């Protein structure tokens, strides 16, 4: 079967997955060769049992031949058990390694990837691809290798008994080849369509689960159920086509085998009646025929069986080639915790598309230990600016320096050790409060200290299980303010040089916010703190404010100075104050 150039590259990468298991494969192949050789001798013994033992009434020889045949069968099963031990190890390790590689890659991908897909789509696509690719390591692949050795042994056995009848057996190969080639091509096309349809369904399903609250409140459950039925029916239709194609392939094998064995019985019987053949010879020939025809079908079915492996492998390897946050193999400048935490933005510009810049020519400096607030109207670029600091995004133009070093020259791992983050919608993992503050039990004392520093210890101590209280998925068992406090404790326990707070106190009550301001200003005085906030009490206490207006720096200084001298800043602050008063009145 002719293989396309791209498919050859994929097949080469698939075979490369076996590289860590070379020793196991050598043992498996050796077992298969010995097993095939033993299988070749068994039909010859069966021929002797019939012709020399039964028909010639030689009971003693019959017992010897039966015991010899039984011994070969036992030996063959023992070799099969040894082969299975090493094969099962490979079949279990390969999906594990593929899944591990995929998960490692997920943690290194640019965040833009997660903006375009949801967790349901990611999980379903990876599970399907890993499952399909792992088929190359299951028993079917090594079974095919075993069948190739059996074919060789079977052909030798056929030729020993009768070369003319052997030609009849081999004549079926071209017919089978044409049939399998046709069916494999159709199956690959059907499976490619199935992958696309299942990908759309997974994306839709993940989106529906994430928006379940909105579905309930909007009363669109019936509409969503209709969409589910439509998408599932589409998948069922494609699966039905695949199953029917599998059955057609199975039927073609059965029919062809019955045609060949039928012809052999007729021709063999004719030769026996004319004393040109023996009954034992015909039985042995039929056995060798099975050795040859069944394996030929298996070998020719490689393309058919790979018709769903190749599309999954293409998608999986394409996923592994997606751009990561950090170039593989790149060299970086070493930094340690003692690095000066001065941050310099030099002529930074960024856009999500080519038509409109979100940030334009941003230049400013934050000195080590300074407390800086970033403020601006919605959509002005505040979050984008923070994401650039966190290296979740890369600037299109300009550079960011930390302690005089271009941050792109520092490894992601080293750089992020220097930064702690608390966002407005901080994510909490489905575990205990203690695990969320600091996952490592070795750091528990630091975690407890951070909890007390961030003023959440009192709230935690009031819970029945205290620090062992389960927070639920993304903190579902907690209020918004409690979630933010735990996230704050998590950030403080990291003890980084720079603390980034993106609307981190938006759900705090007044008392908690005042406590947090005291913590940031007085107890974290050596830390560099960058805050996105519109809270007046915070803005009045920071060292300086960066006012972002239409993607550029509209003003730069302290609150009183900006409020008096910059009308845009004053208008924005007044609008925030009005909103707070309106909320208070509504309460």
Q: Over the stretch 49-108, which tens digit does the pLDDT of each residue have?
A: 777 777 778 888 888 888 888 898 899 889 989 988 898 898 889 989 999 999 989 888
- Mean pLDDT, range 353-376, rounded to an integer: 86
Start-to-end Cα distance in the chain:
75
Q: How far apart are alpha carbons 196 and 405 in whole angstroms?
A: 45
Verify that 287 and 431 share a domain, yes or no: no
Verify that 55 and 112 share a domain, yes or no: yes
Torsion sign, CA atoms 488, 491, 497, 499: negative
Q: How far apart are alpha carbons 129 and 101 in whole angstroms?
A: 13
CA dist 505 → 186, 237, 308, 451, 499 (Å): 58, 51, 51, 16, 14
Determine, yes or no, domain membership for 164.
Answer: yes
Residue from 429, 484, 488 nearest 453 by CA: 488
Q: How far apart are alpha carbons 390 and 411 in whole angstroms?
A: 12
Determine, yes or no, domain membership for 331.
Answer: no
Lowest mean pLDDT among 64-68, 156-160, 457-461: 156-160
Q: How far apart are alpha carbons 573 and 585 in whole angstroms?
A: 19
More confident residue, 227 or 456: 227
Residue from 86, 83, 69, 77 nearest 32 by CA: 83
Verify that 16 and 134 share a domain, yes or no: yes
Verify that 482 and 509 share a domain, yes or no: no
Cβ atoms of residues 295 and 150 within 8 Å: yes
**Which residues are 553's β-sheet partners?**
548
Provide the pairing of β-strand 498-502 with 419-423: parallel
Q: What pLDDT score was predicted for residue 1?
A: 47
Cα angle: 466, vertex 470, 475; to 5 degrees = 115
Q: How far apart are alpha carbons 458 and 456 in whole angstroms?
A: 6
401 pLDDT more than 90: yes
Verify that 86 and 143 share a domain, yes or no: yes
Number of structural domains (the chain) is 3
Query: Residue 499 is encoded by which pair of tokens?
Result: 């603390």
Burial of 402 (0-12, 13-18, 19+ CB in 10 A): buried
Verify that 296 and 404 share a domain, yes or no: no
CA dist 570 → 200, 547, 577 (Å): 48, 11, 11
Determine, yes or no, domain membership for 327.
Answer: no
The pTM (predicted TM-score) of the whole model is 0.72
pLDDT digits (tens, 9 = 90+) for 142-156: 667 767 777 776 677
pLDDT digits (tens, 9 = 90+) for 283-292: 777 776 766 6
More confident residue, 509 or 33: 33
Helix (H) or strand (E) holding 363: strand 359-366
Torsion sign, CA atoms 517, 519, 524, 525: positive
Q: What pLDDT score was predicted for residue 136?
A: 81
Range of the domain at 484: 427-495
Residue from 170, 205, 197, 166 nearest 293 by CA: 170
Verify that 172 and 292 share a domain, yes or no: yes
Determine, yes or no, domain membership for 135.
Answer: yes
Cβ atoms of residues 295 and 36 within 8 Å: no
Verify that 436 and 548 share a domain, yes or no: no
Please give the mean pLDDT across all residues of the chain.
Answer: 81
Determine, yes or no, domain membership for 335.
Answer: no
Query: What is the pLDDT confidence band of residue 343, given thresholds at 50, 70 and 90?
Result: very high
User: Of 269, 285, 320, at which residue does a domain stop?
Assistant: 320
Verify that 439 and 393 share a domain, yes or no: no
Whole-number percent of the chain with pLDDT over 70: 88
Determine, yes or no, domain membership for 127.
Answer: yes
User: Of 466, 495, 524, at which residue does a domain stop?
Assistant: 495
Determine, yes or no, domain membership for 576.
Answer: yes
Verify that 275 and 365 share a domain, yes or no: no
* CATH code of the domain containing 370: 3.40.50.300
Q: How far apart are alpha carbons 521 and 511 in whole angstroms?
A: 16
User: Of 454, 470, 495, at which residue does a domain stop?
Assistant: 495
CA dist 443 → 422, 435, 470 (Å): 19, 10, 19
**Which residues are 437's β-sheet partners?**
none
582 pLDDT more than 50: no
Q: How far apart are alpha carbons 485 and 513 in whole angstroms?
A: 10
Verify that 66 and 153 share a domain, yes or no: yes
Verify that 25 and 168 share a domain, yes or no: yes
Lowest mean pLDDT among 292-306, 341-355, 393-407, 475-489: 292-306
* CATH code of the domain containing 186: 1.20.1560.10
Determine, yes or no, domain membership for 325.
Answer: no
Beta-sheet strand order (sheet of 371-375): 419-423, 498-502, 528-532, 371-375, 544-549, 552-557
């Amino acid at each position: 079967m002719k293989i396309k150039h791209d498919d050859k590259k994929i097949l080469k990468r698939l075979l490369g997955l076996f590289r860590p298991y070379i020793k196991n494969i050598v043992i498996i192949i050796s077992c298969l060769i010995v097993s095939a050789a033993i299988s070749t001798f068994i039909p010859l013994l069966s021929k002797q049992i019939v012709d020399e033992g039964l028909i010639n009434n030689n009971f003693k020889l019959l017992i010897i031949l039966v015991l010899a045949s039984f011994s070969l069968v036992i030996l063959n099963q023992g070799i099969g058990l040894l082969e299975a031990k090493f094969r099962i190890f490979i079949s279990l390790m390969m999906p594990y390694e593929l899944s591990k590689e995929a998960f490692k890659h997920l943690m290194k991908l640019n965040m833009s990837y997660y903006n375009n897909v949801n967790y349901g789509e990611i999980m379903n696509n990876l599970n399907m691809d890993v499952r399909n690719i792992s088929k190359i390591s299951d028993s079917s692949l090594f079974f095919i290798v075993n069948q190739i050795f059996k074919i060789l042994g079977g052909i030798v056995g056929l030729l020993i008994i009768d070369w003319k009848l052997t030609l009849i057996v081999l004549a079926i190969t071209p017919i089978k080849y044409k049939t399998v080639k046709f069916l494999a091509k159709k199956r690959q096309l059907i499976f490619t369509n199935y992958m696309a349809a299942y990908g759309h369904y997974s994306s839709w399903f993940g989106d529906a689960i994430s928006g379940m609250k909105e579905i309930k409140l909007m009363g669109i459950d019936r509409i969503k159920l209709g969409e589910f039925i439509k998408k599932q029916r589409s998948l069922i239709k494609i699966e039905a086509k695949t199953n029917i194609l599998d059955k057609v392939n199975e039927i073609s094998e059965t029919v062809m085998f019955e045609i060949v064995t039928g012809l052999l019985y007729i021709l063999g019987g004719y030769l026996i009646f004319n004393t040109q053949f023996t009954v034992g010879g015909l039985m042995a020939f039929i056995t060798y025929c099975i050795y040859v025809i069944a394996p030929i079908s298996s070998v020719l079915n490689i393309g058919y069986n790979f018709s769903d492996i190749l599309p999954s492998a293409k998608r999986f390897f394409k996923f592994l080639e997606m751009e990561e946050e950090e170039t593989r193999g790149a060299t970086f400048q070493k930094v340690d915790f003692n690095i000066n935490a001065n941050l310099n933005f030099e002529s930074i510009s960024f856009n999500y598309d080519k038509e409109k810049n979100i940030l334009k020519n941003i230049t400013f400096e934050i000195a080590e230990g300074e407390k800086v607030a970033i403020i601006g109207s919605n959509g002005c670029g505040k979050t984008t600016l923070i994401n650039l600091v966190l290296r979740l995004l890369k600037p299109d133009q300009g550079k960011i320096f930390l302690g005089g070093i271009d941050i792109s020259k520092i490894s992601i791992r080293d750089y992020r050790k220097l930064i702690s983050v608390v966002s407005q919608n901080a994510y909490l993992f489905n575990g205990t409060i203690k695990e969320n503050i600091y996952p490592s039990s070795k750091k528990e004392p630091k975690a407890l200290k951070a909890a007390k520093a961030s003023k959440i210890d009192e709230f935690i101590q009031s819970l029945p299980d205290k620090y062992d209280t389960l927070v639920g998925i993304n903190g579902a068992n907690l209020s918004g303010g409690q979630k933010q406090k735990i996230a704050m404790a998590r950030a403080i326990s990291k003890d980084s040089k720079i603390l980034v707070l993106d609307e981190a106190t938006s759900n705090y009550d007044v008392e908690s916010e005042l406590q947090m301001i005291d913590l940031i200003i007085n107890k974290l005085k050596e830390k560099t703190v960058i805050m996105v906030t519109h809270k007046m009490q915070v803005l009045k206490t920071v060292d300086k404010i960066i006012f972002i207006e239409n993607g550029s720096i509209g003003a730069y200084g302290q609150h009183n100075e900006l409020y008096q001298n910059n009308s845009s800043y004053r208008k924005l602050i007044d609008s925030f104050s009005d909103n707070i008063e309106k909320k208070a009145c509504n309460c």
